[in-house]
Amino acid sequence: MYLIRGINNIELYKSRFPMTSNIATIGNFDGLHLGHQQILSTMQEEGNNQGLKKLIIFTEPHAQEFFAEAVGLDSEKPPRIFPWQEKVRRMNELGVDFGFFLKFNNQLRSTTPEDFLEKILLRLNIKKLIIGDDFRFGANREGDFGLLKNWGKENSIEVTKTETYKVNGERVSSTRIREALTKDKFEIASKLLGRPFTYSGKVVYGNQLGAQLGIPTANLWLPKNKLPISGVYIVKSFLGNKEFKGIANMGIRPTIGGESPVLEVHLLNFSENIYGKKLTVEFIKKVREEKKFKNLDALKDQIFKDISTAESYFV
């Protein structure tokens, strides 16, 4: 997948792919859930029939993240199902040809729907545009399907919208999945995602506390985006094509005075050096909330109990 990084790189994209025509869609696509996959499946089929490449236009950060950060309320930021790097990777896996990364900032938030259409969309060689049934755009979210439809007719661009995708009679949405994950309802989240909920990251050096306690852990790099999980979990981890069972803690580690979130994974019966490698963690079941212990010995005792819980689960 070719990634177009912002408005200033549209002309570079057009110079590299001058003869390309696209079927496009717009949205946040957090999680790339079954509803998103329905849109991509339609794009795949119609794109193949009409000789069009698949283009996804997505904004970063999410609007709610931007507004929360603007007023200094990080606690109000909605959690992410996964960070944008994972979003790009999954788009690539799903066969997207072009991703247009559009930075959400004060300039974009104040752009009128008409300017958004003329100064951005019209420059992307779009022949067909598919949107979700709740899509709104432009300053104050004033742009709607009717405006898009009329604009499309004027510019020979077919504009259509998809019907709501439902599971068990309920709408599939990123918001619903985030709510399921924050309540540790992983089975529900998996059904809506169309796959298990996972987090992938590079194993980085930590403070080596786990090794000092005799319980080595793999520390995964975390983005600044807030994830919808917190506490101790039974997990499966994947390193390349190999699967490992384990226990993981997602939190700030209050016993040692931590302040920033860290994801620590202890792989059962494993002792290899995997620093710098990519580890994918599948969250299966929550064991307990993170808590502050009176000392390291108490923390160590609890970790061994958590490991025993994980071992019993996998028997």
pLDDT (tens digit, 0 to 9) for every residue of the chain, 315 residues total? 999 999 999 999 999 999 999 999 998 899 999 999 999 999 999 999 999 999 999 988 887 788 777 766 766 778 899 888 889 999 999 999 999 999 888 898 899 999 999 999 999 999 999 998 888 898 888 999 999 999 999 999 999 998 889 998 889 999 999 999 999 999 999 999 999 999 999 999 877 777 777 888 999 988 877 889 999 999 999 998 999 999 999 998 888 888 788 899 999 999 888 999 999 999 999 999 999 999 999 999 999 999 999 999 998
End-to-end CA separation in angstroms for the chain = 41
* Domain extents in the chain: 2-169, 197-314
Rounded to an integer, what distance in angstroms lies between the CA atom of residue 170 and that of residue 71?
34
CB 116 within 8 A of CB 137: yes
Residue for token pair 């938030």: 109
The Cβ of residue 290 has, within 10 Å, a number of other Cβ atoms equal to 16
CA dist., res. 3 & res. 27, Å (int): 15
Domain 197-314, classified CATH 2.40.30.30, yes or no: yes
Residue 210 CA, distance from chain mean position: 28
pTM of the model: 0.90
* Closest C-alpha to 119, from 111, 109, 127: 111
Taking the C-alpha atoms of residue 266 and residue 215, their distance in angstroms, rounded to an integer, is 7
pLDDT given at position 49: 94
Give the pLDDT score at 207: 73
Cβ(72)–Cβ(141) below 8 Å: no
Question: Which numeric CATH code is attached to 2-169?
Answer: 3.40.50.620
